[in-house]
Amino acid sequence: MTELTGKVALVTGGSRGLGEFIAAALVNAGVRVYISSRKAEVCDSIARELSAAGECISLPFDLSSVTGVEALADAFCQREQKLDILVNNAGATWGAPLDEFPESGWDRVMDLNVKSVFFLTQKLLPALRRSASRTDPARIINIGSIAGTRTGRTNTNYSYIASKAAVHHVTRMLAGQLGAENITVNALAPGPFNTKMMEFALNDPVARQRIEAAIPLGRVGEAEDIAGAALFLCQRAGAYISGAIIPLDGGAAASR
């Protein structure tokens, strides 16, 4: 039910935060993992660190354009014939007041968070199809957000919220279309996690207390929380799940 040894995975945004947590878990499970991120030095460094536990290869590319997406897909396919697990995690956020929100902030977030997810999946479909079987589907895991399921009156991350809602819907659309090809497509929708992206808030005791008070379980997410969910979807136990948007928020969404 849990055997993943020998499988091949690609994790975008795999050099930090949630992507690094997932990549590390897959490496430790015996998966050959390729990680990608925009900064080559950081991507190379994390790949070396993770390789202490298994096999991790750095493929640094900027996925904010289709050119970068195609370059990553080509680089991967030069090394591997098949892809068992694709984790679309690379993303960005941008916050600004409504009257001042720039087009550049809208486009950067939508291009990386939505366009790259769709087109990287498209370019890697041949490799995913070669891996897929009826009893052991190929897996696509998109990283959404609970921000994509609700809005807040004080939230100014307009493009981020819209992008994550789009990721959830693209996930459902692809699940419906790719199921017949034995490819499952699911999304994880994290709430607050202990990552660099959240440092600005979590390092402030008052802000951290306010965030944790809004979560029924009373804490923010840790590496093991998202790693466990991702591993579940990749293992035999998750082979019959597709089109799901799985909240990882300590019950926050259910309490609203």
Q: How far apart are CA 210 and CA 201, in angstroms?
A: 10
The residue among 242, 230, 199, 206 whose CA lies nearest residue 88 is 230
Q: How far apart are CA 31 and CA 25, in angstroms?
A: 9
The pLDDT, as a whole number, for residue 3 is 87
Judge contact between 253 and 150, C-beta under 8 A. Answer: yes
- Give the pTM: 0.95
The pLDDT, as a whole number, for residue 162 is 95
160 has catalytic annotation = yes
Quick one: tokens of 195?
């990552």
Q: How far apart are CA 186 and CA 141, in angstroms?
A: 5
As averages over each run of 10 residues, the pLDDT of the chain (256 residues) reads: 91 96 98 97 98 98 97 98 98 91 95 98 98 97 93 77 97 98 98 84 88 93 97 97 97 81
> Which residues lie below 8 Å from residue 206, measured CB to CB, with a gap of 6+?
none
The pLDDT, as a whole number, for residue 111 is 97
The pLDDT, as a whole number, for residue 256 is 67
**Superfamily (CATH H level) for 8-247:** NAD(P)-binding Rossmann-like Domain (3.40.50.720)
